């Protein structure tokens, strides 16, 4: 029914037909509603995101993965058509997008199985106190450490948190991540709570350690890095003034993205469309405006 691939192919044999679906073009659930929440619920990822005992968490990122993969699929189909003259149907589902977003965890389960992949891990169950564990600062914000090779990072990290380099409890990777793992987490918990997040961001950055403060949405809105790379751009909207919006996430040295025009305001092109495309006279358009039919 409708303008499906089979019908359009009779009009143009090399057409590329792109479609975003809920659960894919085949199988018993192919006609289910295309809702990202429903697709995400099937991946197995939602139950392992929160701390144990908390409700599953819907990340809401599946739609973005799906859109990007659909664009990538179209690019591949265009390449194939260029080489062979053949068109084809491209379908990317929200189910596929969510599975792809959880690919590291899903693939680990497929390869190794086991209950440990099916349930959320408690914070204190982390195998490495210096990688993946979050520590709360004195102002309530959290610091994320990503230093899996602790032998590499320990000489710079230990002095910042007041631990002697040769402390016998933590003087090698095996002790930090093995027998004395919980003790190191306990110490780091206490240390990070003594200073605000701004302090930790500054000293960790100055020491070139792999760590950062977990930010809120207001951070990219004012971040120089986001601005310089045009991930967030500032535009002048007539009648409104400067506004910020998301830019283009892909850098291209020779063909950079550019903004040709802003989204139209309500009624901005009503008169133009009525006159140039539908042949309405200026008098008639004026009457419609006066009657409140158009803006």
Least confident of 36-40, 48-52, 92-96: 48-52
SS3 call for 147:
coil
Q: How many Å is the Cα radius of gyration of the chain?
A: 27
Q: Say yes or no to pLDDT of 232 above 70.
A: yes
Average pLDDT on 230-254 reads 88
pLDDT at 279: 92
Average pLDDT on 84-108 reads 95
CA distance 40 to 136: 29
pLDDT at 126: 86
Neighbouring residues of 32: CB distance < 8 A, sequence distance ≥ 6: 22, 23, 38
CA distance 111 to 117: 11
CA distance 137 to 276: 62
**In the structure, what pLDDT confidence band is assigned to residue 266 with cuts at 50, 70 and 90?**
confident
Domains of the chain, residue spans:
5-117, 123-213, 219-260, 264-295
**In the structure, what pLDDT confidence band is assigned to residue 186 with cuts at 50, 70 and 90?**
very high
Average pLDDT on 188-196 reads 98
Sole residue written with tokens 């044999």:
13
Average pLDDT on 105-126 reads 86
- For 116-159, the pLDDT digits (tens) are 788 888 888 889 999 989 999 999 999 999 999 999 999 999 99
CA distance 258 to 243: 16
User: Is residue 97 within 8 Å of residue 65, measured between CB atoms?
Assistant: yes
Q: Say yes or no to pLDDT of 176 above 80.
A: yes
Q: Which of 179, 132, 171 is nearest to 154 (CA)?
A: 171
pLDDT at 261: 73
Average pLDDT on 240-252 reads 89
Is CATH 3.90.110.10 the right assignment for the domain spanning 5-117? no
Q: Say yes or no to pLDDT of 24 above 60.
A: yes
Q: Say yes or no to pLDDT of 72 above 70.
A: yes
Average pLDDT, the chain: 93
Is CATH 3.30.1540.10 the right assignment for the domain spanning 123-213? yes
pLDDT at 241: 86
User: Is residue 73 within 8 Å of residue 18, measured between CB atoms?
Assistant: yes
Distances (CA, A) of 226 to 188, 230, 231, 236: 31, 6, 5, 18
Least confident of 10-14, 113-117, 166-170: 113-117
**In the structure, what pLDDT confidence band is assigned to residue 1 with cuts at 50, 70 and 90?**
low
Average pLDDT on 182-198 reads 97
Question: For residue 24, how far is the Cα from the chain centroid?
Answer: 22
pLDDT at 283: 93
CA distance 18 to 20: 7
User: Burial of 66 by CB count in 10 Å (0-12 exposed, 13-18 middle, 19+ buried)?
Assistant: buried
Q: Say yes or no to pLDDT of 234 above 80.
A: yes
């Amino acid at each position: 029914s409708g303008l499906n691939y089979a019908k359009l192919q009779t009009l143009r044999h090399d057409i590329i037909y792109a479609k975003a679906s809920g659960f894919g073009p085949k199988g018993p659930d192919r006609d289910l509603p295309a809702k990202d929440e429903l697709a995400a619920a099937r991946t197995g990822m939602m139950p392992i995101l929160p701390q144990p005992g908390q409700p599953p968490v819907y990340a809401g990122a599946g739609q973005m993965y799906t859109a990007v993969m659909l664009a990538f699929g179209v690019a591949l189909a265009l390449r194939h058509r260029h080489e062979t003259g053949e068109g084809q149907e491209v379908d990317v589902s929200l189910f596929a997008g969510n599975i792809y977003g959880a690919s590291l965890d899903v693939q680990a389960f497929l390869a190794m199985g086991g209950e440990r992949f099916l349930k959320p891990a408690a914070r204190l169950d982390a195998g490495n106190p210096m990688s993946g564990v979050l520590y709360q600062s004195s102002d309530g914000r959290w610091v994320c450490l990503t230093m899996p090779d602790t032998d590499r990072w320990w000489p710079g990290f230990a002095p910042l948190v007041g631990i002697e380099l040769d402390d016998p409890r933590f003087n090698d990777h095996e002790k930090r991540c093995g027998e004395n793992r919980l003790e190191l987490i306990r110490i780091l918990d206490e240390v990070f709570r003594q200073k605000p997040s701004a302090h930790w961001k500054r000293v960790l950055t100055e020491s070139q350690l792999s760590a950062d403060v977990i930010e809120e949405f207001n951070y990219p809105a004012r971040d120089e890095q986001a601005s310089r790379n045009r991930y967030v751009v500032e535009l002048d909207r007539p009648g409104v003034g400067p506004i910020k919006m998301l830019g283009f996430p892909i850098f291209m040295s020779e063909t950079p993205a550019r903004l040709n025009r802003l989204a139209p305001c309500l009624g901005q092109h009503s008169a133009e469309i009525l006159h140039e495309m539908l042949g309405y006279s200026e008098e008639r358009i004026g009457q419609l405006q006066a009657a409140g039919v158009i803006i």
